[in-house]
Structure 1
């Protein structure tokens, strides 16, 4: 054997030995966000739990400020409605803008193609195969975004007709997406308009998961009227946990035309299990489900009751959301905001007050996310309100009661400032032997030149009955009262005074009644009446 040949043999033996010793490379490795058992994790292995809302971008392309507003209310995720042509199309340049907004607002973004909604039952719906064509057409805008973009292939892709076709259609869509080179975490919605009440997704999820060569698909159920009991919710979530498959609640609401979802259980179970949820939706709903708007007319300072619930309620976004570590959350930013200024109380009534304070600053990189207002009461302080600005209007306070309140700032990473100096104020007595009343209005419908507020609910918050009430509110500049009902109304300048009618002034403790009114406004003006003061007699 020559020296050269001996060296070659030695090199070959060394290479073979190295191959035996070193572990084999995985056959596939997902980039960025990925599935790990029942969880979603980031590239660094940190668990990520979605806490977010949907935003109907395809119908409201001018409302790009929604991304910052959603982030300011502490969401870590936004699900963005896109279309390939069933509605106004969102091409690659538009998608690139969305990607930029997601990045700069430190949001994980679930991009979904809405064209497939109700296929087989709703006229004009696209197939999942057509949805994949759309994703291919905008692929250039998504290259390299795997750390913060999730692709939801098609929204509610099968209606209630032939839901069994979902399995093969979804397998084919995933296979095509991977063949086209998409490395993203993929999300697939259930049939039955997303609610899976026939359990096609539940019973075939393993087959669909196995079709992804990257093992990087998460399943999404939409919980509306089908999920109106705790038993139904927990049973469905249990099935995926038992199967060891990842699930998110990709849509849900507090009410729906098909029933009354149990949002309290949905949110509590999601929190206890570490499951993501995405509420529907930020603003702009129509077709009879306007009550699913979280803010009125895209105004982040005008939360609806649904918005208050999902952002500020128990197990809500404000309490449970954690920013993705990719953007600096989860401990990278440990610098707390500065302490806010002492709050100042004004517009004090028997049941509320408006507070203002000097702003905090944040140097940790996550940016100010908002403020929390607490009642100082021994060692068990109570959260009274939350705000993304330096003011808040408190409601539901008790008459003739002294309140000491302080403000605390929080940033996008969840750090909190110290407590501001406390402010002290006392609510007025109201009327009706310690009674008092509150009033809250809902914008029922609106158009470019006006809106209707119905109902304005008047509630006796006291411990004894009242025999009358007066509600005052201020019309925005340029607005005029066009009509009213169930109240005696007078107008002085922009101030409106509504007194009870003969038949609805007497309210027992805890009782309520309502009235309504219509307003005209200059075309293009989007303001509405936002606050009310109630006095009992």
Structure 2
């Protein structure tokens, strides 16, 4: 009798344990088998480190011969390239072999590859546009090129998948959920990126208000949302409210496209970039080169020539909160992003989001002639970014050189807006062609990134 009681008790205990375990398993979100994942509203790379996209779009499908653009984009500091592909419905189809070559170019240049099908653009308003379901069929047709590339590739199902037609755009949640489910059932383990409707700008908040249900529909919980910011986002309040709602909901958001100007209005690119940097949000600018149809001003370089940056190119690559200052290479390529197990607030990696004022003080510094230099640091464990401000004295300058002694163990890894000499010990920075002449009392800035610690550097300036 006692043995029977023990046996029944043991069986009941085993049943309770099994039920509890099953409940725990059900309660935990599934994770992708490999590659990029999403956790706590953040994108993590294959090593479990936070990855923040800093990149540009490249119209590969229309300029398939411009394969050198991948190296050129990397040379300006980007860690991501968003590649325009076609399913063949509207433009020449990019074959599986071409997609494989694009991925190899991304990997060779240590770039994370965001691949997007452009044929979906403006569905419901643009007659030639295809559905998200048709885009999924294309992805399945080139799956051989994508399999095993989860560490390096993010799948952007379709560009701006609905136009402004309210009736068709209302289908965005259902169509997006179905597309994600179909991709997962087909065996895709990649992080999936989904664009907003309304030509990507979501001005009626369809994506914003349905993002949680779409995220929950992904069995891998590995979906990232992409908002395109043009004329709809022409004030700081609109930008911070939209992005802030995703951050508050712990839903992953990136600015998948934006520009400094547009035919539908003037986007506030300064706020887009500063808010993204402060809040650990990725951004991808449109676009490298080759724009037409009246938006040629969105080219970042002229005729795909990396040495001919446009004003937009200068802004996004070299400006405040720009790519060169803020991009950090994915750790799958050996980058040094901090682990997510560290502090909940990521150490800053860039100069302050508010640039120092360029208005000279009442009494110009630097004495009679000459120049002075000051440095501000933003540091993290193992590295830093230094912003150096050069101010002319009462006579102005025709050129300048800044010298400083780096602490032991520190080294310059790259610089911008100055020519550098030396990487350790005493290093020197000399003006480039566009910033050597400084009027009396005026200032210019250059910057550099370094490994180790930059604490204690004291720059000196010599004018010529």
TM-score (norm 1): 0.63
Cα displacement (A) at 1:241: 1.9
Call closer, same or farther: CA 1:400–1:43 in 2, change over 3 Å: closer
Correspondent of 2:37 among 16, 26, 34: 34
CA distance in 1: counterparts of 2:82 and 2:302, whole angstroms: 19
Answering whether residue 153 of structure 2 is matched by residue 149 of structure 1, we say yes
Which residue of the partner structure matches residue 7 of structure 2? none
- Contact residue 322 and residue 414 of structure 1 kept, 8 A: no
1:258-293 Cα offsets, whole Å, 9 max, x none, are 000000001010011100000001111111001101
CA distance in 2: counterparts of 1:403 and 1:266, whole angstroms: 26
Which residue of the partner structure matches residue 373 of structure 1? 418
Answering whether residue 170 of structure 2 is matched by residue 130 of structure 1, we say no
- Contact residue 82 and residue 112 of structure 1 kept, 8 A: yes
Answering whether residue 239 of structure 2 is matched by residue 251 of structure 1, we say no
Which residue of the partner structure matches residue 195 of structure 1? 201
SS in 1 for 2:110: coil
Give the number of the structure with larger relative contact order, counting CA–CA contacts within 8 Å between residues 6 or more apart.
2
Which residue of the partner structure matches residue 220 of structure 2? 214
Answering whether residue 331 of structure 2 is matched by residue 286 of structure 1, we say no
Call closer, same or farther: CA 1:396–1:204 in 2, change over 3 Å: farther
CA distance in 2: counterparts of 1:108 and 1:270, whole angstroms: 18
Cα displacement (A) at 1:28: 3.0
1:495-529 Cα offsets, whole Å, 9 max, x none, are xxxxxxxxxxxxxxxxxxxxxxxxxxxxxxxxxxx
Which residues of 2 match residues 52-67 of structure 1 at below 5 A?
52-67=55-70
Cα displacement (A) at 1:242: 2.4
CA distance in 2: counterparts of 1:264 and 1:156, whole angstroms: 23
CA distance in 1: counterparts of 2:452 and 2:177, whole angstroms: 39
- Contact residue 122 and residue 159 of structure 1 kept, 8 A: yes
- Contact residue 318 and residue 416 of structure 2 kept, 8 A: no
Answering whether residue 164 of structure 2 is matched by residue 160 of structure 1, we say yes
SS in 1 for 2:171: helix
Cα displacement (A) at 1:353: 6.7
Which residue of the partner structure matches residue 72 of structure 1? 75
Cα displacement (A) at 1:19: 7.7
Call closer, same or farther: CA 1:36–1:73 in 2, change over 3 Å: same
CA distance in 1: counterparts of 2:68 and 2:463, whole angstroms: 36
Call closer, same or farther: CA 1:173–1:97 in 2, change over 3 Å: same
- Contact residue 117 and residue 156 of structure 1 kept, 8 A: yes
- Contact residue 72 and residue 368 of structure 1 kept, 8 A: no
Cα displacement (A) at 1:415: 10
Which residues of 2 match residues 13-24 of structure 1 at below 5 A?
none
Unaligned runs of 5+ in 2: 1-10, 339-380, 384-395, 402-411, 422-426
Let me know the Cα RMSD of the aligned residues: 3.8
1:121-164 Cα offsets, whole Å, 9 max, x none, are 11211111110011011100011111110000000000001311
1:108-130 Cα offsets, whole Å, 9 max, x none, are 11000001001111121111111
Which residue of the partner structure matches residue 434 of structure 1? none
Which residue of the partner structure matches residue 506 of structure 1? none
1:385-438 Cα offsets, whole Å, 9 max, x none, are 7xxxxxx42247225899999x98768x9999xx9x999663xxxxxxxxxxxx
CA distance in 2: counterparts of 1:400 and 1:213, whole angstroms: 62
CA distance in 2: counterparts of 1:414 and 1:122, whole angstroms: 53
Cα displacement (A) at 1:299: 1.0
- Contact residue 404 and residue 423 of structure 1 kept, 8 A: no
Which residues of 2 match residues 4-403 of structure 1 at below 5 A?
28-30=30-32, 31-85=34-88, 86-161=90-165, 162=167, 163-330=169-336, 371-373=416-418, 392-395=432-435, 397-398=437-438
CA distance in 2: counterparts of 1:394 and 1:351, whole angstroms: 13
CA distance in 2: counterparts of 1:98 and 1:123, whole angstroms: 29
CA distance in 2: counterparts of 1:323 and 1:165, whole angstroms: 37
The structure where helix makes up a greater share of residues is 2
1:324-366 Cα offsets, whole Å, 9 max, x none, are 111000169x999xxxxxxxxxxxxx987799xxxxxxxxxxx
CA distance in 2: counterparts of 1:170 and 1:382, whole angstroms: 53
- Contact residue 354 and residue 394 of structure 1 kept, 8 A: no
- Contact residue 118 and residue 125 of structure 1 kept, 8 A: yes
Call closer, same or farther: CA 1:174–1:409 in 2, change over 3 Å: same
- Contact residue 403 and residue 424 of structure 1 kept, 8 A: no
CA distance in 2: counterparts of 1:415 and 1:57, whole angstroms: 40
- Contact residue 121 and residue 163 of structure 2 kept, 8 A: yes
SS in 2 for 1:221: strand
CA distance in 2: counterparts of 1:106 and 1:310, whole angstroms: 20
1:63-92 Cα offsets, whole Å, 9 max, x none, are 111111111111111100000111121110
Cα displacement (A) at 1:42: 1.5
CA distance in 2: counterparts of 1:155 and 1:208, whole angstroms: 17
Cα displacement (A) at 1:17: 12
The structure where strand makes up a greater share of residues is 1
